[in-house]
Structure 1
Amino acid sequence: MAGFAFTEKNGIRWGCFPAWEALGVCHGFTCRVGGESDLVPGGLNMALHVGDDPEKVLRNRRKAAAAMGFDLARTATCAQVHGTVLAKVTEAEAGRGALDLATTIPGTDGLLTDCIDLPLMLFYADCTPVLLVDTESSAIAVLHAGWRGSVGRIAQKGVQALHDWYGTKPEAIVAGIGPSIGPCCYEVDDKVRDRAKGFEGCFAPHGEGHYLLDLWKLNRQQLVEAGVKPENISVAEVCTCCHNDQYFSYRREKGKTGRLAAVLWRKS
C-alpha cells in the first residue's frame, strides 16, 4: 500500500509509512541511534527488561516521545513472552509500564485499543512488529510476532480480536509490517518448519534440515487469510540483522543488545 521512509528529529531517527498520516493515526519504529544506553553505548534502547540502566532507558523513552510526538505518560506497554495472548487497553491501562516495568501488562504479545491519544508500544530486536488500523473506527492494534507468535497466527488473531471487541471489518483494516529480521538472514531448523503448518511456502531450503524463514511473507499471508485486502498491507522490507548499524539485532549480537520500539496511537 505505502512506501517506508525515515524521519529524524532532535537526533532521534525512526521509520514509518508516510501515507498513514491520512488515516488519523501516528506511528513509528525506532532506530538504534541517538540514545544514552549503557548496554549499547549511545544506543536508543527502549526496553526496561534487558539489563540496561533504568534511568537511561527512561531518558531514551522521553527523547523518543518528544521527537515522535506521543505522550509517554499515557503509553501502554506489555511484558512480551513470544505467545499470542492479546490485551484490550482501556483508559484504566493508560501509562502501564511506560515509566515503571512493574506496572506493565504481563504475559501479553498484542495490545488493542479504541481510545484516543493512548499510545500502544511494543519492544523487539529482530521479531516482527505488526500494526493494524481500523479505517472506519478508532480501533488499533500492535502485535509482536516472533517465529512462535507468527506460527501461532497472532496476526490473524489480532484481526479477529479487532472484529470481536470493536466490530472492525477485516476489509477496513490497513496493516503495516515493520522492520525485522528478513528472509535473507533468518535461518531456522525443522523444529520451526514442522510447527508452521500451512506456511511451508515461507521457508526456503538452506542446507540439510535448515531453512530461511520469511516472517514478512508469513504474517502477510495470515492477514490476507483473515480478510485484510492485499493492497492494504504495507511491508517495510528492512532487515534488522543486515542493518545492524541502524537497528538492534538479537541474532547478530547474540542476545546482548537493546530493544527497538514500535509505537501506534490514534490522534485527537
Structure 2
Amino acid sequence: MHNEPFILLNKQFLSYNGWNDFSTKIVTGFTTKNGGNSIDGYETFNLGLHVNDDPNKVSSNRLKLSSLLEFPTSRWACTEQTHENNIIKISSEHCGLGAFNYNESIKGTDGLYTNDSNVLLTLCFADCVPLYFFSPSHHYVGIAHAGWKGSVKDIAGEMVRKWNDEGIDSKDIYTLIGPSIGSCCYVVDDFVIDYVKGLDINEGLESPIYKAINHGEYRLDLKRLNEQLLHKAGIPYKNIRSTSYCTSCEEGLFFSHRRDKGNTGRMMSFIGLKEEDSYI
C-alpha cells in the first residue's frame, strides 16, 4: 500500500514507527486476527473479553501480546467501551483493570490518555476507528474508540480539548488514524448522515466525507470524518497520519463486525511509553 504508515511486524500485530524519531520508547500498534488460540468464529487472535469467546483463550492471547510487546498485563489499562465520548486520564491505580476480567474494566470509557510511563492504553475494535495521540514535548499519549456514534459526538476533538486544558497546544499534538472499515464497505442511512451533517465539516472538501449511492443510502468515510474533526480541533494536517487499511476488505488480517455479521472477535489498539525517555 502506498505510503501506508503501519508495518506488519509479525502475524499478531501491525506497528507504527512514525513517532520513533521523537521517542525510542513509544509502543504504538494494532493487532491482527492471526497467530492466536481462539476458535469457533474467533480465529485466532481474538483479544475481546466481551464477545462470548472462551475467556481462557482470550487471556492466553493477551499474554501472548504482552510477551511480544514486552509490556506486562499488570500495566495495561482496559475499558468497557460504550460508543460514547467519555475520556479519562489514566494513572497507575488503573493499571491491570480489565486485563483478564471484563467486569473489572474501567466503566463507560472510550478514550484514555496518560503522561505516566510504563502504562499501556488499550481499546478493542472490529470496524470502528482507532485514534492515537502523542505529544512528545509533554510526554502524553492517548487513544480513542470512534465508531459512528463516537465520531459524531466528536471524541477526537474531546481528546484534543482535554489536552488543551492541561496546557498542551493543539499544534504540539501528533495523531494517527488506524485500521477501520472504509467507505468502500460502510453504508449508512439518513439517521446517521443527519448527525454527520450537523457537524458542519463537509463543506469545501475536494471529496465529500459521505456520498449518496441510493435513496437513503450513503457511503461514509469514518477515517476522513475523524481527520476533519481533528483538524477542526486545531491539529495541523501535517500532524495527522491515516492508514489505508479497511478492516472489512482485509479479511485475511482483521475481524469485521459488519462483514462477519456480528459473530467475530476483536483487534486491540495500544499505545504506551515504556519508561522515562529523552526527546529529540
TM-score by length of 2: 0.91
What is the letter of the counterpart of residue 104 of structure 1?
Answer: S
1:219 is matched with which residue: 213, 217, 226?
Answer: 226
Counterpart in the other structure of 1:160: 161
Q: Matched residues in 1 for 2:71 and 2:35: separation?
A: 17
SS in 2 for 1:22: coil
Q: Matched residues in 1 for 2:249 and 2:230: separation?
A: 25
Q: Matched residues in 2 for 1:199 and 1:244: separation?
A: 31
Instruction: Measure how far apart 1:117 and its partner are.
Output: 0.9
Counterpart in the other structure of 2:95: 94
TM-score by length of 1: 0.95
Asked whether the 8 Å contact 1:123–1:262 carries over to 2, the reply is yes
Counterpart in the other structure of 2:194: 194
- What fraction of aligned residue pairs are identical, expressed as a percent? 36
Instruction: Measure how far apart 1:65 and its partner are.
Output: 1.6
**Range that drifts further, 92-101 or 245-254:** 92-101
Counterpart in the other structure of 2:127: 126
Runs of 4+ in 1 over 3 A off after TM superposition: none
What is the letter of the counterpart of residue 187 of structure 2?
Answer: E
Q: Matched residues in 2 for 1:235 and 1:16: separation?
A: 13
SS in 2 for 1:175: strand
Q: Matched residues in 1 for 2:193 and 2:66: separation?
A: 38
Q: Matched residues in 2 for 1:252 and 1:144: separation?
A: 19
Alignment gaps of 5+ in structure 1: none
Q: Matched residues in 1 for 2:4 and 2:42: separation?
A: 31
SS in 2 for 1:43: coil
Instruction: Measure how far apart 1:199 and its partner are.
Output: 3.9
Counterpart in the other structure of 1:17: 16
Of Structure 1 and Structure 2, the greater helix share is in 1
Q: Matched residues in 1 for 2:7 and 2:34: separation?
A: 13
Asked whether the 8 Å contact 2:12–2:45 carries over to 1, the reply is no
Question: C-alpha offsets along residues 41-95 of structure 1, whole Å, 9 cap, x if unaligned?
Answer: 5410001001001110011011112112322211001100111111111111111
SS in 1 for 2:8: strand
What is the letter of the counterpart of residue 151 of structure 1?
Answer: V
Equivalent pairs, count: 264
Asked whether the 8 Å contact 2:42–2:265 carries over to 1, the reply is no
Q: Matched residues in 2 for 1:137 and 1:128: separation?
A: 25
SS in 1 for 2:182: coil
Q: Matched residues in 1 for 2:102 and 2:39: separation?
A: 18
Q: Does 1:184 align with 2:191?
A: no
Instruction: Measure how far apart 1:3 and its partner are.
Output: 4.0
